[in-house]
Amino acid sequence: MDGNGFLGCPRAYLPPAKARFLRIGKFVERRAPSKSGIIVNSSEMFKQRDAIIRLLQDDDPDTVTLTKKQLATGGTEIISDLKDLLSTDDEKVAFHVRDILSSIEGRSAKTAFEDVCRNISATADLERGCWYLAKVFLPGLEIQKYMDIVNDWGQELQSRTARLDSAPARVLAMAHFLGRDLGLRGNADNYYNVNNSLLPCVIDSRLGIPISLSVLYMIVASRAKIVVDGINLPGHFVVRHGDILFDPFHEGRVLSSRDCAEILSQQKLSLQPSHLQSAPPRLVLMRILGNLLHIFEEDDESLHQTIAKWIHLLEHQ
């Protein structure tokens, strides 16, 4: 097993060849006996570790399937026990355990993400939603690692801007650090790759689309105690600090009103004052999901429907 996630990022439990996406919305039975008479529905069953390993090694596919379903009903409270089972030398058992872990963590992340959709009001909620969204697609992702990276970037940005007393100077410092030093930039060559919408993948590759890069600028800046707002410019999301507009997709390039008008003219639109208003977190998350909705419009009907449901939750928040 290569240990990569469904979308090519590391640390998710299942490799792409085995399971392309989280089986969103699929739930399992609550309780049923295995053929060996063992009930596996809580952490208590880990007192029978060897018996569970034998069940997962069974040649009868129905026995294995039923055992996995029952283990999955244990929820997040048994994750540490399941990870202990990964230490077995039996690759077949390890594969099944990874599958169970993906089911539990993906389902938990989906529930948490939907809660954010129902209650989002602040930038902190937007950030949490982005982390949960990544875990829906990449169960097993070590989110804390990426949060630590963002914290480190925020500390460095704060250090660089502590003595700067003007918005233009701070914007220049942000662009230099995030765009030039860290190399965060637009993935123009593979724009519709789903990785571009998932913050951990953007952090790993340093490539993204306007909305994901803008969100990353916003949350890193918040760590540095700098207010950066998202601007829902049609067709090309950008950010603003003070009265300075700048473009994370193009390494933090400062934008004039004329530049914004040019972006909109490519869509046969005229620049209006409403185009430059700060976007609330709910609208930012809707735009992230809108991009994913487009990506999966033809590739995955079930996932497309689930994303549409999330957008509906945000629209009726």
Dump pLDDT digits (tens) for 295-307: 998 888 889 999 9
3-state SS, residue 230 = strand
* Percent of the chain topping pLDDT 90: 68
Distance CA(301)–CA(317), nearest Å, equals 24
- Assigned domain for 148 exists: yes
- Assigned domain for 48 exists: no
- Assigned domain for 84 exists: no
Alpha-helical regions (H) of 164-237: 167-174, 199-205, 210-223
- Assigned domain for 286 exists: no
Tokens at 18, concatenated: 């085995």
pLDDT of residue 45: 53
Q: Residue 43: is its pLDDT beyond 50?
A: no
Q: Report the relative pairing of strands 244-247 and 253-255 from DSSP bridges.
A: antiparallel
Nearest to 193 by CA among 178, 215, 209: 209
Residue 230 domain boundaries? 142-279
- Assigned domain for 76 exists: no
One DSSP character per residue, 59-105 reads S-HHHHHHHHHHHHTTGGGGHHHHHHHTTSS-HHHHHHHHHHHHHHH
Tokens at 300, concatenated: 């995955």
pLDDT band for position 46 (cuts 50, 70, 90)? low
- Assigned domain for 212 exists: yes
Dump pLDDT digits (tens) for 147-198: 999 999 999 999 999 999 999 999 999 999 999 999 999 999 999 999 999 9
Q: Report the relative pairing of strands 207-208 and 185-186 from DSSP bridges.
A: parallel
- Assigned domain for 156 exists: yes
Q: Residue 261: is its pLDDT beyond 90?
A: yes
Q: How many CB atoms lie within 10 A of CB 24?
A: 17
Dump pLDDT digits (tens) for 82-141: 888 888 888 999 999 999 998 899 999 999 999 999 999 999 999 999 999 999 999 888
- Assigned domain for 296 exists: no
Residue 159 sits in a domain whose CATH number is: 3.10.620
Q: State the total domains in the chain.
A: 1
Distance CA(250)–CA(188), nearest Å, equals 10
